[in-house]
Amino acid sequence: MSREDEVLPQGAVIDGARLEADVDEAFDFVVIGTGAAGAVAAHQLALRGFSVAMVEEGPYVKTRDFGPDVLTAFRTLMRDGATQAIEGRSFIPLLQGRCVGGSTVVNSAIAWRLPDEVSSDWSARFGLREVIDSASLEPHYDAVERDLEVSDVKEESLGGNNRELIAALKRRGIAWHPMKRYAPDCAGSGRCLQGCPTGAKKGMNVSYVPWALRRGARLFCSCRVVRADVPGHRATGVIATSKSGMRVTLRARHGVIVAASTIQTPNLLRRSGLRSRALGRHFQAHPGIGVAGVFDRPIGMDFGTTQGAETAHFRASDGFKVETISMPPELLAARMPGGGADLMRKLGEYPNIGVWGLQVRAEAEGVVKTGFGGRDKVVYSLTERDMQKARKALAFVATLMIEQGAREIWPGVHGLASAMHTVDQARTLESGPLDSRAYGFIATHLFGAARMGPDPKTSVVGLDFETHEAKGLYVVDSSIFPTNLGVNPQHTIMAVARLAAVRIAERAGKMRAA
Amino acid sequence: MIALTNIERAWATSALTTIFPSGVHARVRGADVIDIGASLEEVCQSVPARVALGLRAAVWLFAFAPLWFFRMCTLPHVDVEMRERIVLSLLSSRVYVVRQLAVLLKAFGALMFVAAAGVREGIVKREAVIQIGLGARAGDRHVA
């Protein structure tokens, strides 16, 4: 059990659910969001001697309270109880954490550095050379890796699902690797999605957030930011509402740092008065699909790292990545085809079932809008080329699973056989429908919608992380990324936020000295 | 969100016990282990209004689906075999919105009943896992 989130400085955490009076306080910086970006930025600023307030819409759920029940986890840890969906040609469920630690509480803590070709693209097409590129990020990756003890998944915590994928890839002679993760002491509880019950996964809730608090930062959780206060094009603080209905005013002497995520940041900026035409545009994602299959031997998805093995062999050539994703029974039951007696028989085979997934580096771009009642609305449809990539990836994963000994797989494509048994059948997936409505996509990695760039006409945030429209209003999350990455983004989000915080702190330090 | 009526609760129970029936597998209990109406009510109160509305629409969809099979009654009043046929047809409907609504109710049904005491344990119970040897670690590095 982690102690990191248990012993915190007295008075450092203000729980908005219990707040009984309005708050009005001043800090050097106010950081909105405590996910991968906000927590890292807040910690870095606190380390440098600035007074910092972190504001988080969700609650601070402690490690001791994480259970195996997915419904409870969805309700307490995820935005809208995990019912958010991208709207477009098809509905694509959109999973985002909404708690202290953000999505790092409910993801698999996978560490990938920015691929070189993406760094080159950002430099060449978006003018980010020496702003955000592989070289400038390197010391920040190094620091985060040291802090969070990034390491390969250990063999003893791999579990059957990961082992089967590795064996299948080895059989094919395809390069594979155990995931690099922020969970050096992973016990293989298979519960990354519900919140790590041992605290071994170093989500922000048990790392940078408590570390920042110990450096003097304060946390206002269960407080929803209504807007940043931007009089005369200069950010001076944040107005929030606590869950108990109190008004929380946090004034910022040096700046407001927005790290509310790709979906929430654009609308928060709009509510703060920004009117850039680029705001909300260029949203991108990595749509993913899982393939489940039943073997004649035990797999045991309830033990082992939830996502512990992968191959990036096809990332550059075909635009997809293959990885494991162990599913708890309730998610598998929802994902398996059909219903009735046949479904229950299949569910009875849970101990022998494995799930492998694919992520597509989609070229599609969407828009983040303000929907009815002020809700966040994302409109996004995959292109035909994206669908071709997805089909190819799906056929590959399905074929691999059957080659590895699955006696039946469930690819989940409407209009095709719900159960497949042979390699020839699996290969038919490559010529499956090009309509995204036929597939069960899910979106977890989100990018863009408040793009960084030198030109205020085409970007929202300047090369110094400050918005073009308001001084002292900074954005440091993945909404500033000009494109998606093709790999899991948490590591790059953290490194970029750290780099941004260092630069913002240097600038504020000079102002303070002057 | 206005509370589910008793009749809506009965329709939801009929739909979800058909999707997740008990007595099929010795270890795996079905959706009847929970009070489906009460659980669904709780879910509807905790999700955004548009989702609660979608769940309610799904319940009505299942309830009146027998009409498309020329049965002039609601789902609880058709025989078990026919009920399963109707439910399966909605879950694999060619009409995207119908399919999505049916899957939405199924997904929440799964989340609700697996959370009941003993259900998860029954599903995951297994013999000792035989581990496959991996040999030497290989592959390219993704953290430089």
Q: How far is A497 from chain B (nearest CA, A)?
A: 18
Looking at the DSSP assignment, which residues form a beta bridge with residue A357?
Answer: A290, A323
A300 and B129 in contact by Cβ < 8 A?
yes
pLDDT for residue B131 is more than 80: no
| Chain B residues within 8 A of A119 when measuring between CB atoms | none
Q: Which long-range contacts (CB under 8 A, 24 or more apart) does A135-139 make?
A: A136/A499, A137/A113, A137/A492, A137/A495, A137/A496, A137/A499, A138/B144
Joined tokens for residue A315: 């990332």
Cβ neighbours for B141, distance < 8 A, ≥ 6 positions apart: A177
Judging contacts by C-beta atoms under 8 Å, the chain B residues touching residue A300 are 124, 126, 129
Which residue in the set B18, B46, B124 is minimally distant from A351, CB to CB? B124
Q: Which residue of B has its CA nearest to A333?
A: B110
Question: At A367, is the secondary structure helix, strand, or coil?
Answer: strand
pLDDT confidence band for A512 (50 / 70 / 90): confident
Q: Which amino acid is at A212?
A: A
- By Cβ distance, the residue of A167, A311, A345 closest to B132 is A167
Q: Which of B45, B126, B130 to mutate to test the interface with A (most CBs of A within 10 A)?
A: B126
* A426 neighbors A416 (Cβ within 8 angstroms): no
Distance (Å, whole) CA A274 – CA A68 = 42
- State how far residue B46 is from chain A, nearest Cα, in angstroms: 7
ipTM over 0.90: yes
Mapped onto helix, strand or coil, the DSSP state of residue A96 is: coil
In this predicted structure, the answer to whether residue B70 has a pLDDT above a threshold of 80 is yes
pLDDT at B125: 85
Distance (Å, whole) CA A32 – CA A228: 9
Per-residue pLDDT tens digits for A147-169: 999 999 999 999 999 999 999 99
The C-alpha atoms of residue A100 and residue A436 are separated, in whole angstroms, by 33
Looking at the partner chain, which of B18, B28, B132 has a beta carbon nearest the beta carbon of A339?
Answer: B18
Per-residue pLDDT band at A2 (split at 50, 70, 90): low
CA distance A452 to A455: 9
CB nearest B21 (choices: A302, A311, A341): A341
> How far B27 CA lies from chain A's nearest CA (Å)?
7
Q: Is the pLDDT assigned to residue B135 strictly greater than 80?
A: no
| A388 within 8 A of A287, measured Cβ to Cβ | no
pLDDT of residue A510: 80
DSSP H/E element including A443: strand A442-447
B129 contact residues in A (CB cutoff 8 A): 159-160, 298-300, 303
Query: Mutation test of the interface with chain B: which of A74, A75, A83, choosing the one with the most B Cβ atoms within 10 A?
Result: A83
Instruction: Report whether A174 contacts B139 (CB < 8 A).
Output: no
Give the separation between CA B144 and CA A370, rounded to whole angstroms.
40
Q: Over the stretch A323-347, which tens digit does the pLDDT of each residue have?
A: 999 999 999 999 999 999 999 999 9
Q: How far is A299 from chain B (nearest CA, A)?
A: 7
Q: Indicate the helix (H) or strand (E) that contains A506.
A: helix A490-513
Nearest chain A alpha carbon to B93: A414
Say if CB B67 and CB B15 are below 8 A apart.
no
**Distance (Å) from the alpha carbon of B40 to chain A's nearest alpha carbon:** 12
Nearest CA in chain A to B144: A113
**Catalytic residue selected from A233, A445, A468, A491:** A445
Partner residue opposite A113 with nearest CB, options B88, B119, B142:
B142
- The residue with tokens 């969906």 is A85
Angle at which helix B80-91 crosses helix B49-64, to 10 degrees, equals: 130
Three-state DSSP class for A123?
helix
Q: A279: Cβ–Cβ under 8 A, 6 or more apart, which residues?
A: A266, A269, A270, A449, A450, A460
Confidence band for A3, pLDDT divided at 50, 70 and 90: confident
* A177 a catalytic residue: no
Alpha helices in chain B (DSSP H): 6-19, 36-46, 49-64, 80-91, 96-114, 119-124
Q: Which of B110, B128, B131 sits opposite A163 (nearest CB)?
A: B131
For the segment A439-460, what is each residue's pLDDT rounded down to a tens digit?
999 998 999 999 999 999 999 9
Contact status, residue B121 vs residue B130, Cβ threshold 8 Å: no
The pLDDT score that the predictor gives to residue A323 is 96
Which residues of A fall within a CB distance of 8 Å from B19? 339-340, 343
Q: Around Cβ B5, how many Cβ atoms within 10 Å?
A: 10
CB A35 within 8 A of CB A104: yes
Which residues on chain A are in Cβ contact (under 8 Å) with B123?
329, 347-348, 350
CB A474 within 8 A of CB A258: yes
Chain A contact set for B48 (CB, 8 A): 80-81, 83, 375
What secondary structure letter does DSSP report for A205?
A: G
Q: CB distance B111–A351 less than 8 Å?
A: no
- What was the pLDDT predicted at B133? 46
Phi, psi of A36 (to 5 degrees): -55, -40
* Residues of chain A with C-beta less than 8 angstroms from the C-beta of B21: 340-341, 344
Distance from CA of B94 to the nearest CA of A (A): 8
Tens digits of per-residue pLDDT, A84-97? 999 999 999 999 99
